Amino acid sequence: MPPVRQRLLLSLLLGALLLGLGVLLGRFWGGSSSPASAGSPVALAAEAGDHAGHDHEGHPTTWTCSMHPNVQQDGPGSCPICGMDLIPLEEDSGDEGPRTLSMSESSRALAEIATTVVETGLPEAEIRMVGELAYDESRDRSLTARFPGRIEALAVGETGVAVEEGEVLAEIYSPELRAALAEYRALHRRDPQSAATRGARERLRLWDLTAAQIEELRMAPTVEDTVPVRSPIDGVVVEKHVREGDYLETGQSLFRVVDLTELWLELEAYASDYPWLAEGQEVVFTVGSLPGESFSGRIVLLEPTFDRRSRTVAVRVEVPNAGGRLRPGMFARGTVLAPLARAEEEPEPVLLPSSAVLRTGERAVVYVRVPEAERPTFEGRTVRLGPRAGDFFVLRDGLEPGEEVVTRGAFKIDGALQIQAKPSMMNPGEEEPGEPGRPGVLVEVEEAEAVLPDYFALQEALAGDDLAAAREAVAEMGAKVPGGSELAGLLADMAAAPDLETMRKPAFEALSNGMITTLEGHPEVWEGPVYRMNCPMVYQDRGADWLQPTDDLRNPYYGAMMLQCGSTVGTLE
């Protein structure tokens, strides 16, 4: 290439390089104030960042995760730990109470906080149970040989045959019976009312012959060689233990006949459902082998004891089966719609939506909207829960009808309180009465007055390591407490305790704390002093209390192992 053209090409390349460098430098120094860049994505993001730390009213807002309150930022986004959307909560102004949070209306809307007014009502729980159909034992008959003999003939050769009352099942030949019958016939001809005649008739009756059979055999022209075995009821032969030609011994089983026009449905109920169940309630159930159909019966028995392994109680339902479509052994699912048991003069209980409750261990916390506050303000409150009825809890203490509780977004409020190091569900702060660490049940005044002597008997039985006496005391208390109460549920669990240790902790402690609370407010329940004892060794961080009628300390939590461990911490008079 000629030198002139080489110089021209080099000049063009150098010019293009300088022009590109000038454009880049211009954008670097002046691009942020250029009108052309004002609507760019970068500018819009910067503008959003300027307002991300404020709500729609201009107040500073913290964005956090309700599951991980340690995550905090000035703008919206997702939690880097769990991926949940961050929620805006206004910083606490500092003038509310230790369990209170205030926020703007826009923050409340963004956090999707919803409230419901607490009302009274008559709750109805839907109790679901499983089990299977079985024979009605009151309609079950077993036929046995009352005298030695031989099966001469079988009228029913297999099981599953339907028979009627009085129908012949078999013919038995017995020399002993034949001789006894001949003796009776001879005595009756001589003197029908003599003592010997009556004795011979009674002997035949004890051999399972009916009065009609005895009279029939007496009037027969000759003494029969065989005696018939007849069905005592209408039913189905479900067991046959003999064959033709078999020799029999006294007491040997022959047949089993069951009337299937009524069956039993044996269900199992959990301990938490026990307070809702009562004899006479209707049970609607289905069986897998008859899909799409429902059947019903009524509860006739609640077993008095709980199964030690499954912690369930057996529920027996009487089921009509006139059509014979239901069969023993069928698996069934039953449902009971049970109203809360209460006296007619008692007021309707307060019902708390289950979605409002935050639970951890023994504690239950709800967030209540503070009335007449300028901005949405919510206060955390510890409540006492009774049994659950569907989507509601029966409330024992902590709220009044008409108060508003948070039913959606309560966990977000709780997370905001955790951020501000305030008491919350997970961090209760200073221990409150009834909070975890000291479990207790609600004991009504009438209940305390009725069961206090039995409570003392239970305390003495536990101190003496006597499980049988402890169970007897628990049974006595359970018989005096109306079903459905919190105390009744605890006593049912204690009745199912397999050993002393299970009955002692935490059940006996919960019972003791409930009794202590009631007696402290109503000392008139008991005549004379009641001593409050404490053993610091039961739990390392707090110990446990109990009551005694005397100051002779006897530790129910350890028994003979540390019978004198503890001290008197108070006297109720």
What pLDDT, on a 0 to 100 scale, did the predictor assign at position 548? Answer: 94
Q: What does the pLDDT read at residue 356?
A: 87
Strands (E), 307-416: 312-320, 331-339, 350-353, 358-360, 363-369, 377-382, 384-389, 392-397, 404-408
Are 503 and 306 contacting, i.e. CB atoms less than 8 angstroms apart? no
Q: Select from 292, 309, 339 the last residue of a domain.
A: 339
Q: What is the DSSP letter of 348?
A: P
Q: Please indicate, yes or no, whether residues 567 and 463 belong to a single structural domain of this protein.
A: yes
For the domain that residue 144 is a member of, what is the CATH number? Answer: 2.40.50.100
Tell me if 414 is assigned to some domain: no
254 and 266 together in one domain: no
Query: Does 494 map to a domain?
Result: yes
Q: Is the peptide bond before 35 cis (omega within 30 degrees of 0)?
A: no
| Structural domain containing residue 513 | 445-572
H helices of 2-66, in order, are 3-30, 41-51
Q: Is 529 helix (H, G, I), strand (E, B) or coil?
A: coil
Report CA-CA distances (Å) from 61 to 72, 73, 81, 97, 424: 10, 9, 21, 20, 20
The pLDDT profile of the chain, 573 residues, written as one tens digit per residue, is 554 444 544 454 445 444 454 444 344 434 433 333 333 222 323 333 334 445 444 554 677 776 666 677 888 888 887 777 777 654 544 446 677 888 877 777 777 888 999 999 888 888 889 999 999 999 999 998 888 889 988 988 888 899 998 889 998 888 888 888 888 888 888 888 889 888 888 888 877 777 877 887 788 877 777 888 888 899 999 999 999 989 988 888 999 999 999 999 999 988 778 878 889 999 999 998 899 899 999 999 998 888 777 778 899 999 999 888 999 999 999 999 888 766 667 788 889 988 888 876 567 889 999 988 888 889 888 888 887 777 888 888 888 899 999 998 887 787 777 766 676 655 565 544 434 446 667 788 888 888 999 999 999 999 999 999 999 999 999 888 877 677 887 888 788 878 888 888 778 988 998 888 888 777 777 777 899 998 888 865 568 899 999 989 999 999 988 888 888 888 877
| pLDDT the model gives residue 27 | 43
**482 shares a domain with 531:** yes
The domain tally of the chain equals 3
**pLDDT attached to residue 43:** 30
pLDDT digits (tens, 9 = 90+) for 69-90: 667 788 888 888 777 777 765 4
314 within domain boundaries: yes
In-domain check, residue 25: no
The reported pLDDT for the residue numbered 513 is 86
Q: Is residue 92 part of a domain?
A: no
- My answer on whether 289 and 235 are in the same domain is no
- 266 and 254 both lie in a single domain: no
Which pLDDT does position 15 carry in this prediction? 53
Is residue 433 in a domain?
no
Q: Is 296 among the domain residues?
A: yes
Residue range 435-459, pLDDT digits in tens? 444 666 778 888 888 899 999 999 9
Specify whether 567 is located in the same domain as 450: yes
Question: Which residues, in sequence order, are bridge partners of residue 298?
Answer: 282, 318
Domain-located, residue 122: no
**252 in the same domain as 141:** yes
